[in-house]
Copies of this chain bind each other. A is one copy, B any other.
Amino acid sequence: MLSTALVGAGFIGPVHLEALRRLGRRVTGVLGSSPEKSVIAAAKFGLPRGYANFQEILDDPTVGVVHLTSPNRAHAEQCRLALRAGKHVLCEKPLAMTSSESMELLALQGTTPRLAAVCYNVRFYPLCQEVRARIASGELGEIHHVTGSYVQDWLLHDTDFNWRVLAEEGGQLRAVADIGTHWLDLVQHLTGSDVTDVCADLKTVLPIRQRPKGSVETFSAKLPGVKPPTEPVAIHTEDYGSILLHFSTGARGAFTVSQVNAGRKNCLRFEIAGSKGSLAWDSERPNELWIGHRDRPNELLLRDPALMKSAARCVADYPGGHNEGFPDTFKQLFRGVYQAIDERLSELPPGIPSFADGHRELLLCEAIAQSHLERRWVTVPLAA
């Protein structure tokens, strides 16, 4: 069994660690944002080693797989180095800061025998897999339209701050890139259809935010406690966006992202309407799937392996009524990736998000940014 090293000790790093442990994987150590932080994180997480720098991971012969949960701007370089060092890679989204970077990574990955995945974990909610299986089986008929939103409130106040709000740290786009890409990846995964054209309207609702002198972990700003001194900083990334969509199958769509929507904590919703039925899901009630019918009562499917299609049942570990949630999606995603690694497959099985999916995200984001700037429809370039 190959061992794994973890890069990043912020919000999502421990999520990876816990999922790896549930699967019984060995984790060699963790790399934080400094050698000192690595040591502290290793102790806190109960890991054998705090790496002093990324090179130590590359040089560690016991490490077969690297998980990247570092800040966005580090992803591309770390992916490149890890692949070149012969490690398998699981990279948090986004894969890179630009589509030229992600295209390079995609090309590089094609030349190595290693597997490389991007962590679109939302796909792995069992009922999302159920949606995908139902659509693939034709139960919805032709897809007419796909609508929804991904909304949060953790950046509602101007005193809410995180590296992600800074274009230079997180990228040109923020709400679209951080959460909108989850939505876009998900609905394309579910429908098996690509977004071909976008028309976007974005807004930086809070053009000035108060930056604390220290750094702030994602989602931690809301916790009670003493607030540090701050300084105003101009923000150029969007808090809000709504985007019209055309799909390759002719389907239409629209969705909204916002990080200033009071009361919505982490709420990804979609509704997919087809000629034979509709499906709706809400990440804040992830164990329920609404199934809309025209000529008979609607259905409400509670996540239950006994009632789900086989493709979805295999990512549902617990019986009906025994809720699974956010941490379980990482377990299921990783299980799929590590199964392919253990079986020495030459590529990821269908359905597991690959660097091609990661590259596609960048193309979509760039088309969205352009559409907003030019106030017009923009065609998304083909990934090839």
Residues of A at the B interface (CB closer than 8 Å) are 11, 15, 18, 21-22, 24, 45-46, 144-145, 147, 149, 151-154, 156-157, 199, 201, 203, 205, 219, 222-224, 239-240, 242, 244, 246, 252-254, 256, 258, 260-267, 271, 273-278, 283-302, 304-307, 317-328, 375-377
The smallest beta-carbon distance between A10 and chain B, in angstroms, is 12
Q: Are A278 and B263 in contact (CB under 8 A)?
A: yes
* Contact between chains at A252 and B201 (CB < 8 Å): yes
Contact status B377-A294, CB under 8 Å? no
In the complex, chain B residues whose CB is within 8 Å of the CB of A292 = 153, 261-264
Query: A321 contacts which of B149, B267, B305, B376 (Cβ < 8 Å)?
Result: B267
- What separation, in Å, do the CA atoms of A322 and B11 have in the docked complex? 12
The distance from the CB of A337 to the nearest CB of chain B, in whole angstroms, is 17
Each complex incorporates copies of this chain amounting to 4
CA distance A9 to B73 in the complex (A): 45
Instruction: Pick 26 A–B contacts, CB within 8 A, sort by A.
Output: A11-B319, A21-B22, A144-B203, A144-B205, A144-B240, A145-B258, A147-B149, A201-B254, A219-B320, A222-B320, A254-B254, A261-B273, A262-B293, A263-B277, A263-B292, A266-B321, A266-B322, A284-B287, A285-B285, A296-B299, A299-B299, A299-B300, A318-B326, A318-B327, A322-B327, A327-B327
A170 to chain B, nearest CB (A): 18
- Assuming A223-B306, A244-B199, A252-B203, is B262 touching A278 (CB within 8 A)? yes
Residues of B within 8 A of A265 (CB): 302, 304, 319-322
Q: Which residues of B contact A246 (CB under 8 A)?
A: 201
From A244, A288, A289, residue with most partner B Cβ within 10 Å:
A244
CA of A6 to CA of B326 in the docked complex: distance in angstroms?
26
CB neighbours (8 Å) of A263 from chain B are: 277-278, 290-294, 298
Known: A242-B253, A263-B293, A297-B307. 10 other contacts (CB 8 A): A15-B318, A21-B21, A21-B24, A24-B45, A147-B149, A151-B273, A199-B201, A254-B256, A265-B302, A297-B299
Closest to A200 in B: B244
Whole-angstrom distance between the Cβ of A27 and the nearest chain B Cβ: 9
Closest-by-CB residue of B relative to A286 is B323
Q: Which of B11, B274, B377 contacts A262 (CB 8 A)?
A: B274
Q: Which residues of B contact A285 (CB under 8 A)?
A: 285, 287-288
CB distance from A321 to the nearest CB of B (A): 3
- When the two chains form their complex, are residues B222 and A306 in contact, meaning their CB atoms are under 8 A apart? yes
List 7 tightest A-B contacts by C-beta distance, closest first.
A263-B292, A266-B321, A265-B321, A323-B325, A265-B320, A242-B254, A222-B306
